[in-house]
Amino acid sequence: MRHSSLVVVANRLPIDDSIAPDGACEWRRTPGGLVSALHPLLRHTPATWVGWAGGTGPAPTLPDVDGVHMRAVPLTAEDLRDHYEGFANSTLWPLYHDAVEQPEHHRRWWEAYQRVNRRFAEAAAEVAEPGAVVWVQDYHLHLLPGLLRAMRPDLRIGFFLHVPFPPPELFMQLPRRAELLRGMLGADLIGFQRVQAAHNFAQLVAKVLSLPATDRRIGVDGRVVRIGAFPVSIDTAEMAALAARPDVAARAQRLRQDLGRPERVILSVDRMDYTKGIEQRLKAYSELLASGHVKVRDTVLVQVAVPSRERVGQYQILRERVEREVGRINGEFGRVGEPAIHYLTQPFDRAELAALYRVADVMAVTPLRDGMNLVAKEYVAARVDDTGALLLSEFAGTAAELSQAYLVNPHDLEGLKEGLLAALHAAPADVSRRMRAMRAHLHEHDIRAWARSYLSALDETGPLVRRLVSGTDAASITVPGQPDRSATRVEHPSGG
């Protein structure tokens, strides 16, 4: 068995088993923010990634991917239903996203959540070498840090939450709230996307567990657990280089032709999720078409919505509603050979996504609530000529960083329509000024800066950071929102 000094534990592995047209099994990168963030970062690093390979039954033995060892954890059909689709995605996911859909509570789901967290913890304990860093990701695995600490007190354990952490009044609804908080406190460092999330967590720990807590430090069992905000990012340079490739530029030109050479292309790229505000966006677009403010002749909307969590009822209902609405809008406003909306549900490779970003004059990213939203960052990175308007929801984590976007409240239909029109008709100089500022921000705050700030705070002695982020001088590592300081002496990781 291979042992590693860095172990990443996430519900999903960065590959998925899917059936090719000829019936063979093929492996590919899965759509989703977590994999998009971590995969480029860990590539060519001697690390082990512990996660689920996407099916049920015995865990497959997988080849290394770009030098990263893949350790699959098996899920039974019951685990899939009660842990992944149940507790993770029908209890925690809606609750953490402002309860925009009703969270469900079932005791059977909680049992599965405990069982699966234990199985992942055992797998991580097996592959971690003595004193290793184990970096646990996301809401599927809240209990894992506590379980792992009990099994392997020698480890340095980090936990990072990719989704929002809700305000106390929502979290308090959870029947097993104390156990979830305790589980997370097994970590040495707990990272959130936003300062507000760290604040919510500290308040809850003080209230539910009566532990001494500030927005930066929590005392538990004679240990100090540090908390802070570390906004996740993308491989900015990689996306920019991809978008600048001649074949991608040519593909973008061809796409514009295929779209009928409209004056304006609006693009949205989402997982099919009720948090993404797809229905609100379609309603706004439909009203603009009805009022004549937008004309099919000169403007098209390309909506990419890749299906997600397809067996969960709320996701099935959403897909039906979105597809019915797209059909209605196209029927009512489209013309022969000129649909109002180009609707695509396929997963695309990175080059095709980059070409789509390049062809989009306006990118509409309008979630009702989103931990970060890397799609918005990818669009900015791909606009290598500083053109393109980003229409961005105030409720996406990205909005805290990309404040030069055209910001909208997606719950306010009139505001959403006005924002879309403003982005469509903005003066080129204004668009460029905003895009330049956002691009400059992302060049500095890319995925490596994120990993450096998090891992240098977790692994205070620093060697891991140097190894992970090649070509980096660990002495110059900084923590977001903090004055520059050495990686070896980060006292307060919080951005707040």
Question: Any idea which residue has 């997370």 for tokens?
Answer: 184
Catalytic residue among 69, 97, 162, 492: 162
Quick one: what does residue 138 bind among ligand ADP, ligand F6P, none, with the CB cut-off 5 to 8 Å set by partner type? ligand F6P
Shortest separation between residue 108's beta carbon and ligand F6P, angstroms = 20
- Edge-to-edge strand ranges of the sheet holding 217-220: 69-72, 48-52, 4-12, 128-137, 156-160, 189-192, 223-229, 217-220
Report the candidate in 430, 412, 492 with the shortest Cα–Cα distance to residue 460. 492
The C-alpha atoms of residue 248 and residue 250 are separated, in whole angstroms, by 5
The C-alpha atoms of residue 215 and residue 209 are separated, in whole angstroms, by 15
For residue 393, the cross-strand partners are: 408
- Catalytic residue status for 22: no
Shortest separation between residue 194's beta carbon and ligand ADP, angstroms = 14
Length of the chain: 496
Question: Any idea which residue has 């970590």 for tokens?
Answer: 187
- Find out whether 464 and 135 touch, Cβ atoms under 8 Å: no
308 binds ligand F6P (CB under 6 A): yes
The C-alpha atoms of residue 1 and residue 126 are separated, in whole angstroms, by 9
**243-272 footprint of ligand F6P as x/- string (CB under 6 A):** ----------------------------x-
**312-351 footprint of ligand F6P as x/- string (CB under 6 A):** ----------------------------------------
79, 138, 215, 378: which one binds ligand F6P (CB under 6 A): 138
Quick one: what does residue 374 bind among ligand F6P, ligand ADP, none, with the CB cut-off 5 to 8 Å set by partner type? ligand ADP
Catalytic residue among 82, 361, 370, 446: 370
Q: With respect to ligand ADP, which residue has the nearer C-beta, 401 or 459?
A: 401
8, 12, 213, 255: which one binds ligand F6P (CB under 6 A): 12
CA distances from 70 to 43, 46, 397 (A): 12, 11, 30
Shortest separation between residue 305's beta carbon and ligand ADP, angstroms = 8
Residue 415 CB burial class (10 angstroms; 0-12, 13-18, ≥19): middle
163 binds ligand F6P (CB under 6 A): yes
- Closest-by-Cβ residue to ligand ADP is 33
Q: With respect to ligand F6P, which residue has the nearer C-beta, 140 or 492?
A: 140
Q: With respect to ligand ADP, which residue has the nearer C-beta, 398 or 456?
A: 398
- Catalytic residue status for 162: yes
Quick one: what does residue 373 bind among ligand ADP, ligand F6P, none, with the CB cut-off 5 to 8 Å set by partner type? ligand ADP
Shortest separation between residue 89's beta carbon and ligand F6P, angstroms = 6
> In this structure, what token pair is assigned to residue 186?
């097994």
Q: Which residues bind ligand ADP (CB under 6 A)?
A: 31-33, 36, 269, 271, 304, 306, 347-348, 353, 372-375, 378
Q: 326: which residues sit within 8 A by CB, 6+ positions away? A: 282, 303, 341, 343
Helices (H), 128-194: 144-151, 168-171, 177-184
Shortest separation between residue 332's beta carbon and ligand F6P, angstroms = 33
Residues 25-64 that bind ligand F6P (CB under 6 A): 32-35
- Find out whether 250 and 355 touch, Cβ atoms under 8 Å: no
Quick one: what does residue 309 bind among ligand F6P, ligand ADP, none, with the CB cut-off 5 to 8 Å set by partner type? ligand F6P
Report the helix count and the strand count for the chain, using DSSP H and E.
Answer: 18, 16
User: For ligand F6P, how many residues bind (rule: CB under 6 A)?
Assistant: 12
Report the candidate in 32, 31, 33, 35 with the shortest Cα–Cα distance to residue 14. 35
Question: Any idea which residue has 């390049």 for tokens?
Answer: 358
Provide the binding-site residues for ligand F6P, judged by CB under 6 A. 12, 32-35, 138, 162-163, 271, 308-309, 371
Q: Residues with catalytic annotation?
A: 162, 370
